[in-house]
Structure 1
Amino acid sequence: MDGQSIGDAWHHVVGTQPDPPVWLVVATGAVALVAVLPAPLWRLSRAIVTIAHEGGHGLVALLTGRRLSGIRLHSDTSGLTVSSGKPTGPGMILTAAAGYLAPPLLGLGGAALLAAGHITALLWTAIVLLAGLLVMIRNAFGALSVLVTGAAFLLVSWYAGDQVQAAFAYLGVWFLLLAGVRPVVELQRKRRYGGAPDSDADQLARLTGVTAVLWVSLFLVTALASLLAGGSWLVGH
């Protein structure tokens, strides 16, 4: 690839793409909703949320100066992020809080990019984030999950036309916005029956002295606010 080709590719990534038709925006939102609501489909699609959840833990751990030992993703859609450092303090609190906040905030950031017309930039941002996550995966299923997801983004961004890229990008962002809500509701349901004593919210309660219900409320408010704001940007644009 010569210098001109590299320059053209770079301008395509950072430039803007044509606005998709309204029906495509609405249709991708409907498909994302179908992927979230029915339990059989949710058991499959929740794995994508787990990637974002554990990736959020890992990224914030690094940003706050903690040492990230590794991330594991499991076939039951659970995950584990292990980091070392001071067991209390802001770094640990932010790392613990990042999991449930990551999917809706990533969706909100993606909605901002799409509203500005940066469809290809969103796809390549996702590829870069997934590549960084792959380096820290420590089990075979997790590596396969991230590779398959990253490969889908790469193939679409490299070979697909503008409308297919737009559909894929809008579907992914709608999914993160919608799917950011359900895990929080499931978390509180489990906590109500004593099924999640070591959840992120309970760990945060022990770290801060703030009741776990308030942490769950923060997760839920963030997810709903991101859905309302991001959804309005997508539909309004």
Structure 2
Amino acid sequence: MSTLTKWAPAVLALVLVASPGVWRYSRHVITIAHEAGHALVALLTGRRLEGIKLNSDTSGVTVSRGRPTGLAVVLMYFAGYVTPSLLGLGAAALVTSEQVRPLLWATVVLLAGMLVMIRNAFGVLSVVLTGGVMFAVSWYATTEWQASFALFVTWFLLLGGVRPVGELQRRRRRGRAPQSDADQLARITRVPGLMWVMLFAVVTIGTLLVGGRMLLPL
């Protein structure tokens, strides 16, 4: 890979995350990962997943049935904000192992599985467009372009996983997020919502540092 193809993906991802005007659109991808995290953990912990909605304002909701308290529901609520970063870390491991095409195809398969549970038109459109781009790159792009795109996706997940945590706390401070994941966790566990936000931050920033350290030698 040339120097440009090594660094351009990271710079582009940073622009998409740091620019307010662009972030309002690119954030939809992070929302998809966020809700996918809720859904996957709900299934893995034995809860009954009923559906996922992705909204045009970049919010989302995952509905599942099961006990309202306990470890399963705590893990489900916790998963949302950390999933994009953890997916980015997994992607970094695959990219550094030169497993670019398996990474792209795994993403397509996960999005296809998620599509089955989407319950609104905008959500279907978001997932189909995202999956379509991933499929097109994996099928038609050259090996070098696939590698560059995989790097971009990885950096975007790592960087994009951090910003929503700060946005969450700003909304909470203004009293605009009474039903946030952190506040739901606070009601279930009696641990203050701010502590959960701080834990989200530790995980997302930590994965950015670890994933970035893995990618920088490239």
Under TM normalisation by the shorter chain, which class is it? over 0.9
- Unpaired segments ≥5 residues, structure 1: 1-19
Between the aligned partners of 1:233 and 1:61, the Cα distance in structure 2 is 30
Aligned positions of 1:173-188 closer than 5 A? 173-188=154-169
Between the aligned partners of 1:212 and 1:151, the Cα distance in structure 2 is 37
Q: Name the SS of the counterpart of 1:70 in structure 2.
A: strand
Between the aligned partners of 1:167 and 1:183, the Cα distance in structure 2 is 25
For 1:195, the equivalent position in structure 2 comes to 176
Q: Name the SS of the counterpart of 2:170 in structure 1.
A: helix
For 1:4, the equivalent position in structure 2 comes to none
Aligned positions of 1:1-237 closer than 5 A? 20-237=1-218
* Matched letter for residue 119 of structure 2: R
Question: What's the TM-score, normalizing by structure 2?
Answer: 0.98
1:26/1:235 contact within 8 Å kept = no
* Matched letter for residue 207 of structure 1: I
- Unpaired segments ≥5 residues, structure 2: none
Question: What's the TM-score, normalizing by structure 1?
Answer: 0.90
Between the aligned partners of 2:96 and 2:152, the Cα distance in structure 1 is 14
Q: Name the SS of the counterpart of 1:236 in structure 2.
A: coil
Structure 1 residue 181: Cα displacement: 0.6
Structure 1 residue 163: Cα displacement: 1.0
1:61/1:95 contact within 8 Å kept = yes
* Structure 1 runs of 4+ with >3 Å offset: 20-23
Between the aligned partners of 2:7 and 2:183, the Cα distance in structure 1 is 37
1:25/1:235 contact within 8 Å kept = no
Between the aligned partners of 1:229 and 1:113, the Cα distance in structure 2 is 14
Between the aligned partners of 2:102 and 2:22, the Cα distance in structure 1 is 29
Structure 1 residue 168: Cα displacement: 1.1
Between the aligned partners of 1:170 and 1:115, the Cα distance in structure 2 is 9
1:120/1:165 contact within 8 Å kept = yes
Structure 1 residue 25: Cα displacement: 2.5
1:97/1:204 contact within 8 Å kept = yes
Between the aligned partners of 1:54 and 1:183, the Cα distance in structure 2 is 13
Structure 1 residue 22: Cα displacement: 4.2
* Matched letter for residue 57 of structure 2: D
Q: Name the SS of the counterpart of 1:138 in structure 2.
A: coil
Q: Name the SS of the counterpart of 1:136 in structure 2.
A: coil
1:68/1:83 contact within 8 Å kept = yes
Between the aligned partners of 2:161 and 2:168, the Cα distance in structure 1 is 12
